[in-house]
């Protein structure tokens, strides 16, 4: 637990921590978020409890004042050490059924998001897609090939999700480390393109 | 459990959170009496400080005296390291505070602290804020621009490509 074996000299900055960056792994219940994190994280996925504000969405939308409430949810996460001064955290959003989520804690300051989709239950990912679109966070929709099969072809899925053509739509296998890595790289490509565009605008 | 901010004032009264100080159990006897009693609600007469508190008996924000706000700047990926002052003071800190200071000999994120100590994320935020204010922890707030910085993104891409 306590690791105070290193030399007791120098100021408090002698063990300067790495710069943390984070990526959000989103999607509905049981789409493979924790599996995705676990496939590539260097630590077994950790779980912590946090508060989330949820706004009733979908069916309850008829009311002009959506009910807001705070729920405590479990959140899984993992990390990848990029180098000694940079560490990538992967935060899985808690699965939300028919509640839109407003997880600003996770999303603000994030590089981007991977929205995982089960092709048999496409509507589970609508809240996540809506949320990241509204926030302007770079995101990629990734269809998890659970059993090697995808229930619909990608153009049909894109049509059903009504995501912009610019949003990459890929398939991947949440259990496979390299497949997860490649999916994350697609998110990074999106984020990089956006960062470069912002840079040239200046 | 409880955790006293000022280790020198170890009176029973000082250990009891304002909203927990209902029926007084008298001397209290030892560290932790306040928190344990609070967890049992009205059955405050039991002053056995060492009695194990069953899981889930404590509402999470009892540990922070009910404070939930004020530390919004501490993002979940914020890195935390124990300072020399924290190492010196660790034995005088109570319970969760001591656990956090003990745990952060090497840098950890707020999320990792919460997970390893099975504490609510919001609770850890408040406690880390307190410990930082007391000089026991160094808190390195993440650089807000890192996620949109081209060089940082290129480093992440290189790092991910190196995974094989």
Domain boundaries of chain B, sorted by first residue:
12-58, 67-164
Q: What is the pLDDT of residue A52?
A: 65
Within a domain: A2: no
- Taking the Cβ of residue A151 and every Cβ of chain B, the question of whether any pair is shorter than 8 Å is answered with no
pLDDT band at B72 (very low <50, low <70, confident <90, very high): low
Within a domain: A5: no
Residues A113, A127: Cα–Cα separation, whole Å:
13
Cβ contacts of B81 on chain A, cutoff 8 Å: 12, 15, 17
CB A169 within 8 A of CB A163: yes
What percent of chain B is predicted at pLDDT more than 90?
40
**Which whole number is the average pLDDT over A155-176?**
92
Within a domain: A77: yes
- Is the predicted pLDDT of residue B10 greater than 50, yes or no? no
pLDDT band at A106 (very low <50, low <70, confident <90, very high): confident
Within a domain: A136: yes
Residues B31, A125: Cα–Cα separation, whole Å:
48
Tens digit of each residue's pLDDT (9 = 90 or more) over B118-163: 998 888 999 999 999 999 999 998 888 899 999 999 999 999 999 9
Q: What is the pLDDT of residue B59?
A: 66
- The pTM for the full model equals 0.74
CA distances to B83, B106, B137 from A16, in Å = 11, 9, 12
A59 CA: distance to closest CA in chain B (Å): 30
Residues A196, A202: Cα–Cα separation, whole Å:
10
- Is the predicted pLDDT of residue B70 greater than 70, yes or no? no
The alpha carbon of residue A98 and the mean position of all alpha carbons in its chain are separated, in whole angstroms, by 18
Q: What is the pLDDT of residue A14?
A: 52
β B108-109/B137-140 pair status: unpaired
CB–CB of A1 and B103 under 8 A? yes
Q: If you measure CA to CA, which chain A residue comes closest to B107?
A: A17
CB–CB of B147 and A110 under 8 A? yes
Give how many domains chain A has, as a whole number: 1
Q: Give me the residue from B103, B112, B138 closest to A46, CB to CB.
A: B112
- The CATH number covering residue A22 comes to 3.40.50.300
Domain of residue A140: give its range: 17-201
**Which whole number is the average pLDDT over A148-175?**
88
Q: Is this complex's ipTM strictly greater than 0.95?
A: no
Q: Give me the residue from A11, A18, A194 closest to B107, CB to CB.
A: A18
Residues B46, B131: Cα–Cα separation, whole Å:
30
Where is average pLDDT lowest: A102-106, A184-188, B68-72, B127-131? B68-72
Listed ranges A86-95, B57-66, B132-141; the one with the highest mean pLDDT: B132-141
């Amino acid at each position: 637990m306590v690791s105070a074996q290193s030399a007791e000299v120098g100021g408090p900055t002698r063990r300067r921590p790495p710069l943390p960056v984070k990526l959000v792994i989103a999607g509905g219940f049981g789409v493979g978020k924790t599996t995705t994190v676990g496939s590539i994280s260097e630590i077994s996925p950790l779980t912590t409890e946090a508060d989330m504000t949820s706004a009733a969405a979908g069916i309850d939308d008829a009311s002009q004042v959506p009910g807001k409430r705070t729920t405590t949810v479990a959140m899984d996460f993992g990390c990848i050490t990029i180098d000694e001064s940079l560490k990538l955290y992967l935060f899985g959003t808690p699965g939300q059924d028919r509640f839109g989520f407003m997880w600003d804690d996770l999303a603000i300051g994030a590089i981007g998001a991977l929205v995982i989709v089960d092709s048999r239950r496409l509507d589970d990912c609508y809240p996540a897609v809506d949320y990241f679109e509204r926030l302007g966070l770079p995101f990629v929709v990734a269809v998890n090939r659970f059993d090697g099969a995808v229930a619909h072809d990608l153009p049909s899925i894109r049509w059903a999700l009504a995501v912009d053509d610019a949003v990459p739509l890929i398939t991947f296998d949440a259990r496979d480390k390299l497949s997860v890595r490649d999916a994350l790289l697609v998110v990074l490509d999106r984020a990089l393109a956006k960062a470069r565009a912002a840079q040239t605008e200046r | 459990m409880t955790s006293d901010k000022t280790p020198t004032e170890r009176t029973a009264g000082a250990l009891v959170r304002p909203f927990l100080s209902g029926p007084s159990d008298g001397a209290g006897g030892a560290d932790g009496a306040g928190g344990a009693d609070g967890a049992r609600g009205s059955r405050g007469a039991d002053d056995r400080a060492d009695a194990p508190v069953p899981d889930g008996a404590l509402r999470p924000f009892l540990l922070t005296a009910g404070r939930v706000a004020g530390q919004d700047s501490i993002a979940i990926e914020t890195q935390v390291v124990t300072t020399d002052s924290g190492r010196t003071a660790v034995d005088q800190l109570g319970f969760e505070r001591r656990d956090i200071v003990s745990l952060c000999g090497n840098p950890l994120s707020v999320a990792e602290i919460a997970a390893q100590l099975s504490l609510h994320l919001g609770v850890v935020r408040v406690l880390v804020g307190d410990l930082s204010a007391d000089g026991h922890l160094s808190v390195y707030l993440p650089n807000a621009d890192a996620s949109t910085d081209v060089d940082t993104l290129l480093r992440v891409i290189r790092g991910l490509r190196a995974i094989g």
